[in-house]
Structure formats: C-alpha cells, structure tokens
Structure 1
C-alpha cells in the first residue's frame, strides 16, 4: 500500500525591516525552535518576501533547517509584492547595495520566487504590500509576526499590524508572535516570550504565553 505524504503546512512571516541589534540572537533561537517543532509535525512551505529584517531572519532559519532535513521536508518560497527589479529598488537606499547584497543569496536558495498577481489593482503606494498581506493571509496556516506588538500606533496598510489583523479576521486563525523591537527603540523589551495571538469576541488581541501553546496549536491543526 502506498504511503500518503502529508500536505505541507504553510507558514508565512511578517515583521519589522529594521530590528534592534540586541534582539537578533533571541529571535534566531526562537525562530529555529518554532520551525523545528513545526517541521516535526508536517512538511513546511515557508513564505517570506525576503525584505530586510524579519523576513530575511526567518528565511535564514528556514534554510538552516532545510539543510538538515532536505527540501522535500522544508521549502522556502518568496512571494514578492511587485516585479523583482522594482522590489529591489524600493527596498534600497539611494546609492547603496546593502539590500541587494543580502537579498540575492537568499533568493538564489529559495525553491520559488514569484510576483503576487496585481489583478488590475494599483501598482504604487501601499497597494502592493496590502495585496501581499492578503496573499499571505489567504495561504498560510500559521503567520509568524516578528513585531513589537504595538497596537496603539496607526494601522498602516500593508504593515505588520495590518497583516496580523487581516490574518486573524478569518475564524479560527492564530498568529505566532515573537516580540521584536524596532532598531531605533530606546526602551527595554516589554515582552520577550513567544505567544500565540488570537482575537477575542470584541476583536481585541488575546495573548497566550503559556508553555506548550505552540505544541497545543500544532496538535489541533495537524491532528
């Protein structure tokens, strides 16, 4: 009798482009631990647009896990909000190549790189990033948010807070939140523990930091 291959669990990332230097080591460890646990339950298709900061940190840990388990178990897929040349230009500071230099090696190791269809929508402003957020929300079984968790700031279309809320708008959705300060933050981290985020009946974020919360989510999601 043929052995059935489990369907991939689709994991997407959204987060700050400029992360606080003091948070990198913790975030790497938390991402590595979470991805390892997820990969034990099912093959992973990991969606990262490969923007600077959180996206690339996530992609690096995906590729490290892929190197151990193989591309048959863990894949890196890179959906882009616009044509690649325009995306690189939009991320780069004038006269600099730092984004290109960090993006291209990751792009070269991804199993797929593709543009999210515009479907006749606007090609400028926040619209491509809103489409990207909708694409991630529609396809991901779990969203990883590498984010400071600030809900008091304005909800910028296509920003991480916006992507989190779009994702959680669908019933039964959960976000894995890895607290991360912005690079320019002078404050000590208010939170450092991973948490599972859901929405309560009033549409407010509910945070579960209890040990084993990701494992419990996995049991429910993967049977």
Structure 2
C-alpha cells in the first residue's frame, strides 16, 4: 500500500488545470499499479481537488482532511461546492479536525496530518519560496522534506498561477 498526500496551489489559471491534471494522472498511475493506493487531500480548489480526482480515476482510495468544522461553510465557494461535495462523498475516510474556524492554525494542523500519513507528498508547486503567511505549499514541502517524506513536484510546462 502506498499513501500519497497532496499540497499545492489553489490559484491555477484556467489553462493550467488540464496540464496539471494530466501530469497528476501520469504520476498517480505509477503508484496505483499495485492496486493499493490511498490519496490524502484537503480537497480545496485547484491542486487538492485535481489530485483527488486523479486518485479516484486510478481506482485509489481517498482520505479527506477537513481543516476545521466551519471549512465547508466558510471556505468553499458556491462554484466549487459541487466538486467538493462529490469528492467528500467519494472519500473512504473523512477526518474533520477539531478547530472551530478555518484559520492558519487549522491549515497548519491539516498539513501536519497530510505529512504524518504520507509515504510520499505530491506538490503542485511553482517552486517559489514561502510567503509570509505560512501554511502554504512551500511551507508544506519544506516540512515534508524535513520529516524525510519524499516529495514529487508537479509543475508542467505552461502551468501558471492566476493573479
């Protein structure tokens, strides 16, 4: 059994989505060959959801980590809600962390769970250093590497962040 967690950017451009999804499909298939793959994701917009879809497409099992009790209500936009709910329904395991509100502490705790559970971490990451805000993709990559968790960076040619 292989357990792969994901971290990645939420703000992918529209044109980047199919590029990232195709790269994730190729990567996930490498680990799904043994037929016993678990993907761990917070199923946020962007990389997390694309990863979760790739895991399910490869017939892997999905574990969802929800950072806080209010996450669905306060952080999932109306256009993202149908996909979020579909992925949540498809999950074999759902962990809702005990934080009341979706804040930096909740995200840091969720990232810690991802790293704890992972044999590998997939990072949909442009390679940029951490922002001052913390709890982002670069921070999670750094923490995974410090914990000895191998990291597969996915950033296909043509991928970009919005803004």
- Identify whether the pair has TM-score above 0.5, normalized to the shorter chain: yes
Structure 1 residues 124, 30: closer, same or farther in 2, change over 3 A? closer
- Show structure 1 runs of 5+ residues with no match: 1-7, 67-73, 185-223
Which of 55, 61, 75 is equivalent to 2:54? Answer: 61
Deviation string, structure 1 residues 42-90 (Cα, Å, up to 9, x no partner)? 6111001111111111111111111xxxxxxx2011011112xx11123
> Would you say how many aligned residue pairs link Structure 1 and Structure 2?
160
Instruction: Indicate the residue corresponding to 1:181 in structure 2.
Output: 160
* Whole-angstrom CA distance in 2 between matches of 1:136 and 1:155: 21
* Whole-angstrom CA distance in 1 between matches of 2:49 and 2:103: 22
- Show structure 2 runs of 5+ residues with no match: none
Structure 1 residues 142, 57: closer, same or farther in 2, change over 3 A? same
Are the counterparts in 1 of residues 71 and 102 from structure 2 also a CA contact under 8 Å?
Answer: no
* 1:36-55 equivalent positions in 2, closer than 5 A: 36-41=29-34, 43-55=36-48
Q: Taking structure 1 as the reference length, what is the TM-score of the superposition?
A: 0.66
* Whole-angstrom CA distance in 2 between matches of 1:154 and 1:165: 13
The reply to whether residue 89 of structure 1 matches residue 76 of structure 2 is no
| Structure number with higher relative contact order (C-alpha < 8 Å, ≥ 6 residues apart) | 2
Are the counterparts in 2 of residues 88 and 99 from structure 1 also a CA contact under 8 Å?
Answer: no
Deviation string, structure 1 residues 163-182 (Cα, Å, up to 9, x no partner)? 111111123x3211011421
Q: Taking structure 2 as the reference length, what is the TM-score of the superposition?
A: 0.89
Instruction: Indicate the residue corresponding to 1:147 in structure 2.
Output: 125
Instruction: Indicate the residue corresponding to 1:188 in structure 2.
Output: none
Deviation string, structure 1 residues 92-143 (Cα, Å, up to 9, x no partner)? 45xxx1122221111111112121355xxx8553000000111111110110
Structure 1 residues 37, 92: closer, same or farther in 2, change over 3 A? closer
* Whole-angstrom CA distance in 2 between matches of 1:44 and 1:92: 26
* 1:5-16 equivalent positions in 2, closer than 5 A: 8-16=1-9
The reply to whether residue 165 of structure 1 matches residue 149 of structure 2 is no
Instruction: Indicate the residue corresponding to 2:65 in structure 1.
Output: 79
Deviation string, structure 1 residues 3-38 (Cα, Å, up to 9, x no partner)? xxxxx2110011111211222222111111111111
Are the counterparts in 1 of residues 63 and 93 from structure 2 also a CA contact under 8 Å?
Answer: yes
Are the counterparts in 1 of residues 67 and 106 from structure 2 also a CA contact under 8 Å?
Answer: yes
